[in-house]
Amino acid sequence: MRILIMGGTGAMGSHLVGILAADPANELTVTTRKEFPSVENGCIRYVRGNAHDIGFVRSLVPVGAKWDCIVDFMVYTPDEFRERVDFLLSVCKQYVFLSSARVYAGSNEPIVETSPRLLDTVNDEVYLRTDEYALAKAREENLLSQSGKTNWVIVRPYITYSEIRLQLGVLEKEQWLYRAMNGRKIVFPKDIAEKMTTLTYGYDVACGIAAVAGKPAANGRAFHVTAAEAIRWSDVLGIYLDVLETHLGTRPGVVMPDAAPNLKNPETQYQVRYDRWYDRKFDNTQIDRFCDTAGFTKPADGLRFCLERFVRNPRFAQIVWTAEARCDRITGERTPLREIPSVKFRLAYLAARYMPRNLFELIRKLIKR
């Protein structure tokens, strides 16, 4: 197959490239914002450019032909996707759209692909006026289903992890693991800790995507691709603490406020309210017709493996020092200023750490203006 993978150098995309490249009949073109060497045998070609630029995407269309499959990892706004959806469907035999299992509303039963979505059921008018991630993905799914074409496949991964991405509730590793590895306490709220979640290894999600790529029987349908086994967030925390205790020689401390601090932030509250407060379990019957999810990595094994790999060579993205300050306020700790890389970030940390929260938020809003 002739396959275009847009945004295919992330955790899931890089796994997918490796899986598809193992078939010598596949020719892969992968868009990237960074320089990547193309594979000499011609199986993989990396093209540097911005896949948000529709002109760049048009330049990739084979002359006088169509892509057999496009796999799209890009994150669009609904307006941006509306402008390109017809074009993308017209230049390929199959278009695989990466959505999210966050589109689903809460459910007391294992979720199936036809379970109600937040966009269709929630009564929160303020939330519905936003393009928060779960709503944006659902609106983009609607654009596909209303396109009048059926050469699309919607894939809905849930929370994925890898050797470079390890989440705890709504926290990325920079917000909890960095603290633990620097001798400070983890802040993890009780209201999320006792909820059930489903965490899936990025490689396994890539296997699910590869299983539907190029399959006409998958067209016009949605599939969630998730692990077969759910796990409680408190058990995820326990796995992390066990690994860190072995590595650090001491067990990191944990402070557990009753409610998630993110609820105070109008931009991040919805991820808690309309996802992490739900128990998330999935029925994989649909994707199991193409890929056996029973063979996916068990979360306890995968999380332990990935964290053990990471702590041997830790590499963090940029730390948000105001978020670090808010955690320190909760735990009563202080981040040494020598740890913070610039005067600007040190001042921001000190303001967020010691200034009354309402005053700090007011000043931040004024600065943004």
Per-residue pLDDT tens digits for 207-224: 999 999 999 999 999 999
- pLDDT, position 39: 58
The SS3 call for residue 122 is: coil
The sign of the CA dihedral 326, 327, 330, 335 is negative
**What confidence tier does 366 reach under pLDDT thresholds 50, 70, 90?**
low
Domain with CATH 3.40.50.720 in the chain: 2-167+197-230+278-298+305-312
Q: 275, 192 in Cβ contact below 8 A?
A: no
Q: 111, 224 in Cβ contact below 8 A?
A: yes
- pLDDT, position 356: 86
Per-residue pLDDT tens digits for 293-321: 999 999 999 999 999 999 999 999 999 99
**What confidence tier does 40 reach under pLDDT thresholds 50, 70, 90?**
very low
User: For the residues 24-51, what does the mean pLDDT come to?
Assistant: 82
Rounded to two decimals, the pTM is 0.92
- pLDDT, position 359: 81
Cβ neighbors of 344 (< 8 A, separation 6 or more) are none
pLDDT reading at 358 higher than 90: no
Locate 257 and state its tokens: 């406020």
Q: Tell me the C-alpha to C-alpha distance, in Å, between residue 144 and each of 39, 137, 138, 210, 222.
A: 33, 11, 10, 20, 11
CB atoms within 10 A of CB 216: 10
CA angle 116, 136, 194 (to 5 degrees): 55
pLDDT reading at 62 higher than 90: no
Look at 317 and 10; give whichever has higher pLDDT: 317
- pLDDT, position 38: 61
- Domain 2-167+197-230+278-298+305-312 class in CATH: alpha beta
Per-residue pLDDT tens digits for 72-88: 999 999 999 999 999 99
User: For the residues 157-181, what does the mean pLDDT come to?
Assistant: 97
Per-residue pLDDT tens digits for 261-305: 989 888 889 999 999 999 999 999 999 999 999 999 999 999 999
Distance CA 240, CA 232 (A): 13
- pLDDT, position 43: 87
